[in-house]
Amino acid sequence: MNLDDRWVALLLPSEIRDLTQEQLIQKIREIKTRQGERLAILAHHYQKDEIVALADHKGDSLALARLTLKLKKTEFIVFCGVEFMVETAAILSRPEQKLISPAPNAGCPLADMASAEDVLAAWEEMAKIVNIKKVIPIAYINSSSEIKAFCGEREGIICTSSNAGKAIKWALGKGERVLFLPDENLGRNTCNALRIPREKTAVWNPELPGGGCERDELKAATVILWKGFCNIHTEFTSQQIRMARENYPGCNIIVHPECQEEVVNVADAVGSTSYIITYVEEALPGSVIVIGTEINLIRRLAKEHPDKTIVELSVSECPDMARVNLRNLYWVLQNLGEVNVIKVDDRIKKSARHALDRMLAIK
Ligand code: CIZ
């Protein structure tokens, strides 16, 4: 727990602070039984085991977004994940449903790397150089609702790490260029997989005047990548991959596409969270798999597959995901619908929904 979380925990009523882990689990189960179908607890794969064990559904952000659309009878959706995931579910939910976050202070530094003001300013700068009507913005789901709305209002689309390639192809079928927000690594690795050459890409750094791009570079670019990154996945290095091959001869190494290009290039496989899970499930007993992604998922996979050796490339934990805990989960359940209800402004919701619907339609 960091200092911020300790302060938040102190704000919880003392009767909750004093409960043991077993008592919290018991009480959460009682509320679940009492509420029945009115309540659904959703947990992202990066959540801790004790949270996932209490969830009705676990998944990546794409699966959980799709699921939200199916929860027709559910009044209260408690989402154990970070801000952009809860907001995405809120955008997709029905007006009568309440989206609740146990830890509204769980943000996403990657999403914060593309602020609405910076993106709008960049868009205006780009409009001086290229035909902006033919630029299709794509926002990775790890982005704010405002950025999703920005895309929705400009014929753009949302993607996740499982459908980024399809989203880029879709966008290039509609326009001449793509502005890919906010993860440079996911964008770069996807361009490589699609064989879009480097000279047909540019990187827009919002910290630099004109994004640090030459006019000709921008004019030549089919894909303009925003300079953002995920702290968790950029922890992994190609040196760690070399060491893993020495320590586990014959192993297979799979990494997430938010990792740096040089890491992805020397791994055996690359894929989204759900791809990594399927990869492990389909591996033969006795396989040795080294994984470069968030540690809670890797440890769970290792427990679920005792017939395989599943190890981490290095320990990298998302501190924001870890802000959800049994105490704040119990607190929101005890005060169901009264606290930590996440709302998205109606205008933003409508525009963001267009961009999300386009993603859901491309499968
Ligand atoms: O979209 C997600 O759930 C994340 C954070 C990663 C992935 O690959 O699915």
Ligand 1 neighbour 143 (Cβ under 6 A): no
Q: How far apart are CA 352 and CA 346, in angstroms?
A: 10
Ligand 1 neighbour 61 (Cβ under 6 A): yes
Q: What is the pLDDT of residues 224-240, one digit of tens each?
A: 999 999 999 999 999 99
- Ligand 1 centre from 275 Cα, in Å? 10
- Ligand 1 centre from 219 Cα, in Å? 32
The confidence band for 341, taking pLDDT boundaries of 50, 70 and 90, is very high
Average pLDDT of the chain is 96
What does the DSSP assignment read for 60-111?
Answer: -HHHHHHHHHH-TT-SEEEEES-HHHHHHHHHHS-TT-EEE-S-TT---HHH
- Does the pLDDT of residue 321 top 60, yes or no? yes
Ligand 1 neighbour 189 (Cβ under 6 A): no
Which ligand 1 atom sits closest to the C-alpha of 62?
1
Which ligand 1 atom sits closest to the C-alpha of 160?
1
| CATH class of the domain whose range is 233-312 | alpha beta
Q: What is the pLDDT of residues 125-155, one digit of tens each?
A: 999 999 999 999 999 999 999 999 999 999 9
The confidence band for 214, taking pLDDT boundaries of 50, 70 and 90, is very high
Are 46 and 61 contacting, i.e. CB atoms less than 8 angstroms apart?
no
Task: Name the packing angle between helices 83-92 and 61-70 (round to 10°).
Answer: 30
Share of the chain above pLDDT 90, in %: 93
Dig out the tokens for 231 from the structure: 């702290």
Q: How far apart are CA 43 and CA 23, in angstroms?
A: 20
> Which DSSP letter does residue 201 get?
E
pLDDT at 309: 98
pLDDT at 190: 98
- Does the pLDDT of residue 324 top 60, yes or no? yes
**Mean pLDDT, rounded, for 9-18:** 79
Ligand 1 neighbour 161 (Cβ under 6 A): yes
pLDDT at 8: 63
Ligand 1 neighbour 272 (Cβ under 6 A): yes
pLDDT at 10: 65
Q: Which of 348, 357, 360, 355 is nearest to 154 (CA)?
A: 355
42 in helix, strand or coil? strand
Are 106 and 82 contacting, i.e. CB atoms less than 8 angstroms apart?
yes
Which ligand 1 atom sits closest to the C-alpha of 63?
3
Q: What is the pLDDT of residues 63-79, one digit of tens each?
A: 998 899 999 889 999 99
pLDDT at 155: 97
Tell me the pairing of strands 98-100 and 57-59. unpaired
- Ligand 1 centre from 267 Cα, in Å? 19
- Ligand 1 centre from 161 Cα, in Å? 6
Within 13 Å, how many C-alpha atoms sit on residue 222's CB side? 18
* Edge-to-edge order in the sheet of strand 269-270: 269-270, 252-255, 288-292, 309-312
Which ligand 1 atom sits closest to the C-alpha of 161?
8
Ligand 1 neighbour 88 (Cβ under 6 A): no
Neighbouring C-beta atoms of residue 200, cutoff 10 Å: 13
Q: Whose CA is nearest to atom 6 of ligand 1?
A: 273
pLDDT at 187: 98
Dig out the tokens for 348 from the structure: 């933003």
Ligand 1 neighbour 163 (Cβ under 6 A): no
Neighbouring C-beta atoms of residue 195, cutoff 10 Å: 7
| CATH class of the domain whose range is 3-107+321-345 | alpha beta
Q: Which of 324, 325, 336 is nearest to 77 (CA)?
A: 336
Q: How far apart are CA 218 and CA 220, in angstroms?
A: 5
The confidence band for 14, taking pLDDT boundaries of 50, 70 and 90, is confident
Q: What is the pLDDT of residues 84-128, one digit of tens each?
A: 999 999 999 999 999 999 999 999 999 999 999 999 999 999 999
**Mean pLDDT, rounded, for 327-350:** 97
Q: What is the pLDDT of residues 29-68, one digit of tens each?
A: 999 999 999 999 999 999 999 999 999 999 998 899 889 9
The preferred substitution site among 44, 273, 291, 360 for testing ligand 1, maximizing ligand atoms within 8 Å of CB, is: 273
313 in helix, strand or coil? coil
User: What's the CATH superfamily of 111-230?
Assistant: NadA-like (3.40.50.10800)
- Ligand 1 centre from 319 Cα, in Å? 15
360 exposure class (CB count in 10 Å sphere: 0-12, 13-18, 19+): middle
The confidence band for 17, taking pLDDT boundaries of 50, 70 and 90, is confident
Ligand 1 neighbour 312 (Cβ under 6 A): no
Residue given tokens 């938040």 in the structure block: 8
**Domains 111-230 and 233-312 in one fold:** yes
Ligand 1 neighbour 320 (Cβ under 6 A): no
Tell me the pairing of strands 201-204 and 57-59. unpaired
Residue given tokens 């085991």 in the structure block: 49
- Ligand 1 centre from 156 Cα, in Å? 20
- Does the pLDDT of residue 4 top 70, yes or no? no
pLDDT at 16: 87
The preferred substitution site among 44, 52, 61, 62 for testing ligand 1, maximizing ligand atoms within 8 Å of CB, is: 61
Are 223 and 168 contacting, i.e. CB atoms less than 8 angstroms apart?
yes
Q: How far apart are CA 321 and CA 58, in angstroms?
A: 14
Where in the chain are the domains? Answer: 3-107+321-345, 111-230, 233-312
Dig out the tokens for 97 from the structure: 């449903």
pLDDT at 236: 98
